[in-house]
């Protein structure tokens, strides 16, 4: 033992080691296979992470177990290395995420079953998104392709909105915590956005695993602001999708769901004007038909009246003709003028001649 060696009490040594850990590794993510998992008093979780050579102890509360664990699962655990004065060395778990297709699938199924039983994905919980939002909160990584797709489609389709973007990680064990804090941030604003959009582009199962984190899924379900989640490609389904009020197949689809296409709306408004023109034309035709009907009625009445007058005149003319003496003479009658007494002379007028005659006798009838 050298004279200059540092001499410490056990407690001081534990404190110093923890200080060194805090300085060198305030937070670390360790990937390995779960073994010896145990939950005590329904609250405290202990397990080991191991690989082919080494194993490390982990300790935490059940609330930090953000994905269901089973022995044999491959997980990434975020935590702080601690040296406990009673329990020795372990990593204090802060969050955990399944890694690898098999573990992710198993963890997904276990958590889905649990949350489904709690009614977190029930259709009755789903809220409608506003038709035309004016204030939107977005949670994403601003460098990610999914975010760029979302904003591009959003700007192409609609304008005039206030869009606030919370920049967070969208993959890895730190991502759920950041997204949860962003959800909380928007939810605690005095004037919160009308809708919260969480987007992330495609990736493999590991990339999307953050969106199967239990705490994140619960935060989405608990958001008082309606949520729209568009994560991955069309074929990907995460638990965050299931907990959202509205699920979009992709970030681009989220923009399509969020706002109408202004080109469609412009077309729709001009279609309304075209419908008005067509209605106006119909009214014009109705008026035209009405006027035509009135004119035709008047014409008919005039024709009828004219015919009636013509008939009357013809009849009068016929009567007048009957009374004409020439008409009577034409029928063979004769007109006698003169002194009608024996020896008198009379003039007998017929249609074609006038006869002078002497009266020989007059007999009373």
- Which 67-96 residues touch other proteins, going by CB under 8 A? 94
CB 230 within 8 A of CB 254: yes
- CA–CA distance, 167 with 54 (Å, rounded to integer): 37
Among 155, 307, 316, 327, binds other proteins (CB under 8 A): 155
Q: Could you tell me which residues are beta bridge partners of residue 138?
A: 165, 197
Site map 15..54 versus other proteins, x via CB under 8 A: ------------x---------------------------
Rank residues 45 and 170 by Cβ distance to other proteins and give the closer one. Answer: 170
User: How is 195-206 classified by DSSP, letter by letter?
Assistant: EEEEEE----HH
How far is CA 23 from each of CA 26, 61, 101, 114, 177, rounded to the nearest angstrom? 6, 24, 34, 38, 21
- Tokens describing residue 19: 């200080």
Q: Find out whether 264 and 236 touch, Cβ atoms under 8 Å.
A: no
Quick one: which segment of 7-15, 159-167, 244-252, 304-312 binds other proteins (CB under 8 A)?
Answer: 159-167
- Using DSSP bridges, classify how beta strands 44-50 and 28-40 pair: parallel, antiparallel or unpaired: antiparallel
Tell me how far CA of residue 198 lies from CA of 210, 228, 304, in angstroms.
12, 6, 83
Judged by CB under 8 A, the residue of 105, 113, 152, 262 near other proteins is 262
Q: Which is nearer to other proteins, 235 or 277 (CB)?
A: 277
Q: Report in angstroms how near the CB of residue 267 gets to other proteins at its nearest.
A: 9
Judged by CB under 8 A, which stretch of 47-55, 103-111, 153-161, 235-243 contacts other proteins?
Answer: 153-161
Contact characters 267-306, other proteins, x per CB under 8 A: --xx-xx-xxx-xx--x---x-------------------
Q: Residue 4 carries which DSSP code?
A: T
Please give the Cα distance from 17 to 22 (Å, whole number). Answer: 9
C-beta neighbour count of 205 within 10 angstroms: 19
Question: Is 266 one of the binding residues for other proteins (CB under 8 A)?
Answer: yes
Contacts with other proteins, residue ranges (CB under 8 A): 27, 94, 131-132, 142, 151, 154-155, 158-168, 174, 177-179, 181-182, 185, 262, 265-266, 269-270, 272-273, 275-277, 279-280, 283, 287
């Amino acid at each position: 033992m050298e004279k200059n060696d540092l001499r410490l009490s056990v407690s001081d040594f534990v404190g110093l080691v923890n200080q060194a850990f805090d300085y060198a590794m305030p937070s670390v993510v360790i990937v390995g296979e779960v073994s010896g998992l145990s939950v005590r008093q329904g609250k405290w979780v202990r397990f080991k992470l191991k690989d082919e050579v080494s194993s490390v102890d982990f300790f935490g509360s059940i609330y930090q177990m953000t994905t269901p664990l089973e022995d044999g699962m491959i997980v990434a655990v975020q935590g702080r290395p601690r040296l406990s004065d009673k329990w020795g060395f372990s990593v204090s778990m802060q969050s955990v995420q399944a890694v690898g297709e098999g573990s992710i699938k198993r963890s997904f199924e276990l958590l889905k079953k649990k949350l489904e039983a709690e009614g977190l994905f029930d259709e009755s919980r789903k809220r409608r998104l506003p038709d035309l939002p004016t204030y939107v909160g977005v949670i994403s990584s601003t460098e990610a392709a999914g975010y760029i797709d979302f904003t591009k489609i959003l700007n192409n389709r609609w304008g005039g909105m206030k869009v606030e973007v919370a920049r967070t990680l969208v993959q890895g064990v730190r991502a759920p915590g950041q997204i949860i804090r962003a959800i909380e941030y928007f939810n605690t604003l005095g004037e919160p956005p009308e809708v919260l959009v969480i987007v992330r582009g495609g990736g493999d199962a590991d990339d999307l695993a953050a969106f199967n984190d239990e705490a994140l899924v619960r935060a989405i379900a608990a958001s008082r602001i309606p949520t729209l989640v568009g994560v991955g490609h069309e074929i990907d389904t995460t638990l965050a999708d299931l907990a959202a009020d509205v699920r979009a197949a992709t970030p681009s689809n989220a923009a399509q769901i969020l706002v109408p296409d202004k080109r469609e709306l412009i077309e729709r408004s001009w279609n309304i004007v075209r419908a008005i023109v067509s209605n106006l034309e119909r009214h014009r035709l109705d008026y035209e038909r009405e006027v035509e009907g009135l004119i035709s009625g008047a014409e008919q009445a005039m024709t009828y009246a004219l015919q009636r007058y013509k008939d009357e005149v013809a009849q009068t003319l016929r009567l007048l003709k009957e009374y004409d003496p020439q008409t009577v003479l034409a029928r063979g009658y004769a007109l006698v003028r003169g002194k009608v007494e024996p020896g008198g002379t009379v003039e007998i007028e017929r249609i074609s001649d006038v006869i002078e005659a002497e009266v020989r006798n007059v007999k009373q009838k």
